[in-house]
């Protein structure tokens, strides 16, 4: 029995993240934030919610030893999102090969960083530096010990483990994440599976959390795991906010193109995209299906059709042209004569 993995893209996660092609995250950021987000589109993004989602993904879908490779769990008594910890991270990234502790870094260097982030400009110099050292010294030491691993708190780790347990135990999700059973050889669960394809001159790469394959029934269910900040029954709010329609349509279409070109898989039916959602507070996992997964047109939602969701391939073509041509203004803006305000006010 041929495996879906056999026709997937055989690259590492690191290679996927650095391949330079279009990803869902790039399309989503551009579509949400617009033309002026282009210069920072490919900057590394970090937040507590992104880290938490990655931890759950790793525990849920990666090899058992992968978590130990990627994360260091510590009892943290600092706010890792604070401006001083962000400054500490920046200092570590520059000076970790030179200084093993924050205390070793020259005061003038620390002060320059504090000036750059505009922290405590009205305070005495010694006070400013002391506050940075008090907040960041232990975190700097942990980063040195972590050797490139992401540092997470015990609370984050415990919350992630609770989400994993809920996903394994919930009747809504436990079958999708069940351990492969030798008595069910027709069921294939593909975690972190990757595909790449080119559409209308633009190359896209995807990495799906889970693709569920039933070889006996000849069906394929593309899935994504979401650790939502909204309650599981309010996932539609996150769907709109983060434009998850782009992910569903992009991922499903790339997988569909791959199976249509394979003699074994071409007769399999691709089902609609499934979002598997869990909230760390309520721990009531739900599965949401997206009926417009294979709709290639612009989608309109909302009471007054005010939510306009363009297809990812349309966005990809537009963004690719901007990246190649680097114009100073977006399409539709006239540099040679006045622009009509009414035309743009009607788009709000």
How confident is the model at residue 77, as a pLDDT? 79
Same structural domain for residues 19 and 93?
A: no
Same structural domain for residues 200 and 299?
A: yes
Tens digit of each residue's pLDDT (9 = 90 or more) over 19-51: 999 999 999 999 999 999 999 998 888 788 999
Per-residue pLDDT for 10 more than 80?
Answer: yes
Distance CA 70, CA 58 (A): 9
Exposure string of 178-217, with b = 16+ CB inside 10 Å and e = fewer, is eeeeeeeeebbbbbbbbbbbebeebebbbbbbbbbbbbee
Cα separations (Å) of 141 from 51, 99, 156, 159, 227?
20, 10, 20, 25, 30
How confident is the model at residue 72, as a pLDDT? 93
How confident is the model at residue 47, as a pLDDT? 83
Average pLDDT (196-223) is: 97
Q: What is the mean pLDDT of the chain?
A: 94
Strand-pair category, 219-227 with 269-270? parallel
Cα separations (Å) of 93 from 43, 86, 103, 140?
15, 11, 15, 10
Phi, psi of 129, deg, nearest 5:
-65, -40
Lowest mean pLDDT among 78-82, 129-133, 156-160, 173-177: 78-82
Same structural domain for residues 283 and 145?
A: no
300, β-bridge pairs: 308
Are 250 and 257 a contacting pair, CB within 8 Å? no
Same structural domain for residues 185 and 312?
A: yes
Strand-pair category, 219-227 with 307-309? unpaired
Question: How many domains, the chain?
Answer: 2
Residue where a domain stops, chosen among 121, 156, 191: 156
Quickly count helices (H) and strands (E) in the chain. 12, 10
How confident is the model at residue 172, as a pLDDT? 95
Same structural domain for residues 309 and 215?
A: yes
Same structural domain for residues 221 and 93?
A: no
Domain that holds residue 75: 66-156
Per-residue pLDDT for 302 more than 90?
Answer: yes
CATH number of the domain to which 187 belongs: 3.90.320
How confident is the model at residue 100, as a pLDDT? 93
Most confident range (mean pLDDT) of 13-17, 116-120, 266-270 is 266-270
> Would you say residue 272 lies in a domain?
yes
Cα separations (Å) of 268 from 36, 92, 195, 253, 254?
42, 50, 17, 14, 14
How confident is the model at residue 62, as a pLDDT? 85
Average pLDDT (254-266) is: 97
> Would you say residue 165 lies in a domain?
no
How confident is the model at residue 183, as a pLDDT? 80
Same structural domain for residues 14 and 79?
A: no
Map tokens 């330079």 to a residue: 20
Distance CA 263, CA 222 (A): 20
Same structural domain for residues 181 and 317?
A: yes
Same structural domain for residues 26 and 80?
A: no
Tokens representing 348 are 């709000």
269, β-bridge pairs: 219
Same structural domain for residues 193 and 278?
A: yes
How confident is the model at residue 149, as a pLDDT? 92
Same structural domain for residues 86 and 34?
A: no
Average pLDDT (169-193) is: 92
How confident is the model at residue 180, as a pLDDT? 82
Average pLDDT (69-84) is: 87
Average pLDDT (103-121) is: 93
How confident is the model at residue 121, as a pLDDT? 87
How confident is the model at residue 1, as a pLDDT? 84
Phi, psi of 184, deg, nearest 5:
-125, 60
> Would you say residue 138 lies in a domain?
yes
The closest alpha carbon to 273, from 295, 242, 258, belongs to 295
Average pLDDT (137-159) is: 93
How confident is the model at residue 347, as a pLDDT? 83
Cα separations (Å) of 130 from 94, 110, 120?
20, 10, 11
Lowest mean pLDDT among 74-83, 249-258, 321-330, 338-347: 74-83
| pLDDT-based confidence at residue 325 (cuts at 50, 70, 90) | very high
> Would you say residue 56 lies in a domain?
no
Same structural domain for residues 72 and 141?
A: yes
> Would you say residue 185 lies in a domain?
yes
221, β-bridge pairs: 212
The closest alpha carbon to 220, from 277, 262, 179, belongs to 262
The string of DSSP letters for 259-295 reads HHTSTTGGGPEEPPEEEEEE-TTT---EEEEETTTT-
């Amino acid at each position: 029995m041929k495996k879906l993995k056999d026709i997937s893209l055989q690259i590492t996660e690191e290679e996927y993240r650095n391949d330079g092609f279009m990803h869902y995250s790039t399309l989503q950021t551009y579509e949400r934030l617009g033309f002026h987000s282009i210069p920072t589109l490919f900057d590394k993004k970090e937040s507590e919610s992104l880290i938490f989602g990655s931890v759950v993904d790793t525990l849920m879908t990666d090899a058992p030893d992968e978590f130990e490779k990627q994360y260091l769990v510590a009892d943290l008594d600092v706010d890792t999102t604070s401006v001083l910890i962000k400054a500490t991270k920046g200092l570590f990234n520059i000076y970790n090969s030179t200084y093993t502790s924050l205390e070793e870094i020259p005061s003038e260097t620390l002060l320059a960083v504090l000036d750059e982030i505009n922290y405590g400009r009205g305070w005495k110099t010694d006070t400013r530096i002391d506050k940075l050292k008090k907040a960041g010294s232990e975190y700097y030491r942990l980063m040195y010990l972590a050797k490139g691993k992401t540092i997470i708190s015990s609370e984050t780790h415990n919350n992630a483990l609770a989400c994993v347990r809920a996903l394994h135990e919930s009747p809504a999700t436990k079958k999708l994440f069940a351990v492969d059973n030798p008595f069910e050889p027709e069921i294939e669960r593909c975690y972190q599976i990757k595909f790449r394809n080119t559409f209308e001159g633009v190359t896209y790469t995807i990495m799906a959390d889970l693709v569920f394959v039933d070889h006996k029934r000849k069906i394929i269910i593309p899935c994504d795991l979401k650790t939502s900040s909204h309650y599981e029954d309010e996932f539609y709010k996150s769907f709109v906010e983060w434009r998850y329609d782009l992910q569903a349509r992009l991922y499903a279409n790339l997988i569909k193109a791959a199976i249509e070109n394979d003699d074994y898989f071409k007769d399999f039916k691709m089902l609609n995209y499934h979002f598997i959602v869990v909230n760390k507070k309520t721990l009531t996992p739900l599965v949401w299906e997206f009926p417009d997964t294979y709709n290639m047109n612009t989608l309109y939602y909302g009471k007054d059709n005010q939510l306009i969701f363009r297809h990812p391939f349309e966005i990809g073509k537009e963004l690719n042209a901007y990246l190649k041509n680097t114009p100073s203004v977006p399409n539709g803006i006239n540099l040679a004569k006045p622009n009509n305000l009414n035309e743009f006010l009607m788009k709000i």
